Amino acid sequence: MFSLSFPFVLDFKSEVIKRGTLSSVRTVAITLIITGIALWTIRNLRGRKNDGDMKVSDAIIIGCAQAIALIPGISRSGATIVAAMGLGMKQETALRFSFLLFIPVSVGGMTLSISDILGDPNLQQLAIPYLLAFIGSFVMSYFSLKWFMNIMAQGNLKYFAIYCFIVGPLVLIFL
């Protein structure tokens, strides 16, 4: 699945999002509300599928949800968890699979960032700030994921939905 979806994800991101067609503040606000609706809809689902019950078709559908999440305001983890739980997976299984899908996406994003950094004509002067930013990003990502996993383990999707319901309209009103 990764070998099929990863090139699509990179191409989609570079051609559509970088052109700015989906990156307006209004789009982000609306898609945050859509994310909230999706999370609220599945918050009480109690699936029966475990890791071993997943079919190839399930993995493809969840991979497509991850690709849709490239639209700004659509949460990648939220989209994959919604898709997995919508397919009847237990929340713990959906969370684990979503985390596994994060790994190749983050490695791919890091690879693209490194190639941009290496091409920077000011690399000599910016090496320390780049390194500090990388370390800070890594540490914050680790703690954010740990916090997110703890909240998800308690089955609290509704808090993320409520967050989206608050932030989305506020962005529409004030920006």
All residues at 6 or more sequence positions from 42 whose CB lies less than 8 Å from its CB, including other chains: 81, 82, 85, 86, 157
Q: How many domains does the chain have?
A: 1
pLDDT digits (tens), the chain, 175 positions: 543 454 455 555 555 555 565 668 899 999 999 999 999 998 888 888 888 888 999 989 998 898 888 888 888 888 999 999 999 998 888 888 888 888 787 777 778 778 778 888 888 888 888 889 889 988 998 888 788 778 777 777 888 899 999 999 999 998 8
Nearest CA to 71 among 110, 19, 106, 108?
A: 19
What is the C-alpha to C-alpha distance for residues 6 and 146, in angstroms, rounded to an integer?
Answer: 25
Q: Which pair of structure tokens corresponds to residue 93?
A: 């299984």
Provide the residue range defining the domain that includes 155.
Answer: 2-174
What is the C-alpha to C-alpha distance for residues 60 and 1, in angstroms, rounded to an integer?
Answer: 7
Q: Which pair of structure tokens corresponds to residue 145?
A: 């994921």
Which amino acid, residue 4?
L
> Can you give the pTM of this predicted structure?
0.76
Q: What is the CA radius of gyration of the chain?
A: 17
Nearest CA to 168 among 25, 44, 32?
A: 32
Distances in whole angstroms, Cα of residue 33 to Cα of each of 73, 87, 166, 169: 8, 22, 8, 8
Say how many C-beta atoms besides its own lie within 10 A of residue 3's C-beta: 7
What is the C-alpha to C-alpha distance for residues 130 and 135, in angstroms, rounded to an integer?
Answer: 9
